[in-house]
Amino acid sequence: MLDATVIIVGGGPAGSSCAWKLQENGIECLILDKQKFPRTKLCAGWITPEVIEDLKMDIHDYPYSLTKFNRFHIHLPHKEMTLNVRQYAIRRYEFDNWLIRRAGIKVVTHDVREIRKDGDEYVIDDRYRCHYLVGAGGTYCPVYRSFYKYSNPRPQKSLVTTLEEEFPYDYQDVDCHLWFLQHKLPGYSWYVPKTDGYLNVGIGGFLYKLKSNNDTIVKQWRLFIDELKRLSLVTDHHFHERGYNYYIQHPTDIVQNDRLFLIGDSAGLATKDMGEGIGPAIRSGILAANAIISGKSLSLRSVKKYSFPKYPTLLKLLLAYLFKVKK
Ligand SMILES: Cc1cc2nc3c(=O)[nH]c(=O)nc-3n(C[C@H](O)[C@H](O)[C@H](O)COP(=O)(O)OP(=O)(O)OC[C@H]3O[C@@H](n4cnc5c(N)ncnc54)[C@H](O)[C@@H]3O)c2cc1C
């Protein structure tokens, strides 16, 4: 049996940020992840300035691809506009590996299946034992499944379904493009070029709305690919898209039970307007570490609910259109 003070299940941005903070404060921890790093994670890799601040990242020292966007090209039905922004993109294959190495802690490749409470401790697959257990395993987190499924149910109305592909591509347009309200998609689509010659294109939307429209994400994906071709953004590529589902923030937020914590996608923390989950995952990981260090309760109040606070996406876009659009 391997003993650790804290075991974190999942080494994505939530788990590795939690480990980073614990390690900085001299608290011994271990990450168990079913995949060996570096690993592929389906994600457009858009990160905000808050992420860079939370991670105390010096962008000049970041050793991999980090793309800076000064504008987003927005496509609305019958209307196009340019939104001035200061945003970034990374490749999750590189970023997650960098985060986990930077945390400087022990990472074991292990697919967690069974977790039980044994007195004051948690025992994982009869091989690992800990005093604090942190669930950071994403949508299908076994900590959520074992301990929070009933106390923290995830509403089906919060479930987002996606399809995407990231591939090497000799793209010509270096801007990030976003499409809203196309073909009644209850979500949005994206084109995110990365500095090292990779391109990420994808589409996401609420599953229950797609179903009630008698629509599917696959049908929407085909329409999106046609649009990419029509605009000559991607012309000569045979797509191998893949899908993943995750939850945006919803009202029930029981994320701590004694010495058991839930962070990132396993707690369903992505923003309500844009489904941005990297920032909330990192912030919640840091907050969970602080709760363990201080012995105080975990509060996720400072995890943002909206990527564009105060305004629902469309209103924000329309305001931007009226006040600072460059045609
Ligand atoms: C297509 C798509 C595009 C997205 N684009 C963006 C974007 O541009 N910007 C943004 O901010 N957010 C985006 N998101 C959301 C973002 O990817 C997630 O919110 C974020 O990855 C959550 O981080 P996490 O650490 O909680 O979980 P994850 O990154 O999912 O990490 C969970 C880890 O747990 C491990 N794990 C799972 N089960 C087990 C197990 N049984 N045992 C051991 N380990 C296990 C996994 O291998 C994984 O490494 C996107 C999501 C999708 C699907």
Lowest mean pLDDT among 75-79, 86-90, 98-102, 224-228: 75-79
Percent of the chain with pLDDT over 90: 87
Q: How far is the CA of 138 from the centre of ligand 1 (A)?
A: 5
Residue 218 placed within a domain: no
* Ligand 1 atom nearest to 264, measured from its CA: 26
pLDDT of residue 87: 94
Burial class (CB in 10 A: 0-12, 13-18, 19+), 195: middle
Mutational test site, ligand 1, from 33, 98, 143, 177, max ligand atoms within 8 Å of CB: 33
Residue 207 placed within a domain: no
* Atom 29 (ligand 1) nearest CA: 12
Write out pLDDT tens, residues 56-80: 999 999 999 999 999 999 999 888 9
* Ligand 1 atom nearest to 267, measured from its CA: 26
pLDDT of residue 312: 64
Q: How far is the CA of 318 from the centre of ligand 1 (A)?
A: 30
Q: Tell whether ligand 1 has an atom less than 6 A from the beta carbon of residue 202.
A: yes
Residue 46 placed within a domain: yes
* Ligand 1 atom nearest to 139, measured from its CA: 30
Q: Is 30 left (phi over 0), alpha (psi -120 to 50) or beta?
A: beta
The overall average pLDDT reported for the chain is: 93
Q: Which domain holds residue 150?
A: 2-69+90-154+249-310
CATH of the domain at 104: 3.50.50.60
Query: d(Cα 273, Cα 294) in Å, to the nearest integer?
Result: 32
pLDDT of 132 strictly over 80: yes
Residue 281 placed within a domain: yes
Q: How far is the CA of 277 from the centre of ligand 1 (A)?
A: 8
Q: Tell whether ligand 1 has an atom less than 6 A from the beta carbon of residue 135.
A: no
**What are the tokens at 317?**
């876009």
Q: Tell whether ligand 1 has an atom less than 6 A from the beta carbon of residue 13.
A: yes
Mutational test site, ligand 1, from 265, 284, 305, max ligand atoms within 8 Å of CB: 265
pLDDT of residue 327: 39
Please compute the mean of the pLDDT values over residues 22-35 and round it to a whole number.
Answer: 97
Residue 289 to residues 18, 106, 175, Cα–Cα distance (Å) = 5, 16, 37
Residue 227 placed within a domain: no
pLDDT of 318 strictly over 80: no
Q: How far is the CA of 327 from the centre of ligand 1 (A)?
A: 35
User: Model's pTM, two decimal places?
Assistant: 0.95
Residue 318 placed within a domain: no
Mutual orientation of helices 13-24 and 278-294 as an angle, nearest 10°?
A: 30
Q: Tell whether ligand 1 has an atom less than 6 A from the beta carbon of residue 303.
A: no
Q: What is the DSSP code string of 255-320?
A: -EETTEEE-GGGG--B-TTT---HHHHHHHHHHHHHHHHH-PPP--TTS-S-SSTTS-HHHHHHHH
- Structural domain count of the chain: 1
Residue 143 placed within a domain: yes
Mutual orientation of helices 92-103 and 13-24 as an angle, nearest 10°?
A: 20
pLDDT of residue 308: 81
Q: How confident is the model at residue 326 (pLDDT cuts 50, 70, 90)?
A: very low
Residue 212 placed within a domain: no
From start to end of the chain, where are the E strands? 2-9, 29-33, 46-47, 66-76, 79-90, 106-109, 115-118, 121-124, 128-135, 159-168, 176-180, 187-193, 198-206, 242-247, 256-257, 260-262
